[in-house]
Amino acid sequence: MGFIFNAVAGEIPLVQRVWSARCEATTGFSSVIKPSSMIAFAWGRGRLTVHVKGPETSGTSMTCPEGSEFFGVELRVGAYLPLYPPSRLTDLRDALLPTLPGGRILLDNRDWEMPTEQNVDVFVDRLVRAGLLAFDPLVDEIRHGERPRGMSERIAQLRFRRAVGISHRKLASIERARHAAQLLVAGRTIAEVVTAGGFYDQSQLARAMRWATGHTPGELRSSSTFLAW
């Protein structure tokens, strides 16, 4: 396998995990649906790019060129950069941050030191203190089926979409499909996953897996393809 991927759940505030990847050979892979926003750093073909990414609402086939390296922070659901609303970044409509000589980043008309995988926690903390990385605490209430007192359903959903980029219903579908795909990759039988995931039948599970990963349940169980979670 020419694609080496690592992800570590960290203790950085507002961050779900820090991940890194490198491609020792040109490799095809499937990018699985994702509910969170992300800040990603990519090196390839002598060029450095910095991406602000939104949720991905369908599985996508992608190619990682030989010699490319990446790392990034996957944000907690409800954490986002107000300058780059998640709803404008969904499905690979990334915002590219300008880079300056010396490998610095231009953000909010200020230049920032380019982080590394080892010190990205400092970069995230600086964003929070500067008010450039925010978290809406009502997202957790809304995603678990609660509506803040005195807030209409419409306003609650608008607030949720502003922070997350997708609707509460879409988020629930993504999380269910990701969980089912993870169970299949771990070797659970299709029948077991239908029951555990609350699907009507195997046909509904198959449709969800095609949407979420681009693969059938059988292909996921065989581990014949690399999935980028």
- Please state, in angstroms and as integers, the Cα–Cα distance from residue 118 to each residue in 53, 71, 88, 160, following that order: 21, 10, 29, 32
DSSP secondary-structure letter at 101? T
Query: What local confidence, expressed as pLDDT, does residue 229 receive?
Result: 84
Query: What local confidence, expressed as pLDDT, does residue 210 receive?
Result: 96
Q: Which of 39, 48, 54 is nearest to 123 (CA)?
A: 39
Measured on CA atoms in the order 183, 17, 148, 167, is the torsion positive or negative? Answer: negative
Measured on CA atoms in the order 16, 89, 136, 133, is the torsion positive or negative? Answer: positive
Q: 52 and 37 in contact (C-beta within 8 Å)?
A: yes
Q: Is the pTM of this model over 0.95?
A: no
pLDDT in tens, the chain (229 residues): 567 778 877 678 899 999 999 999 998 889 999 999 999 999 987 889 999 999 999 999 999 899 999 999 999 999 999 999 999 999 999 999 999 988 899 999 999 999 998 999 999 999 999 999 999 999 988 887 777 777 888 898 999 999 999 999 999 999 999 999 999 999 999 999 999 999 999 999 999 999 999 999 999 998 767 788 8
Distance CA(34)–CA(103), nearest Å, equals 29
Query: What local confidence, expressed as pLDDT, does residue 10 receive?
Result: 63
Query: What local confidence, expressed as pLDDT, does residue 31 receive?
Result: 92
The residues that bridge with 3 in the sheet, in sequence order, are 23
Q: Which of 150, 197, 132, 163 is nearest to 55 (CA)?
A: 163
- In tens, the pLDDT along 45-89 reads 788 999 999 999 999 999 989 999 999 999 999 999 999 999 999
Which residues touch 80 (CB under 8 Å, ≥6 apart)? 37, 86, 133, 134, 135, 163, 164, 165
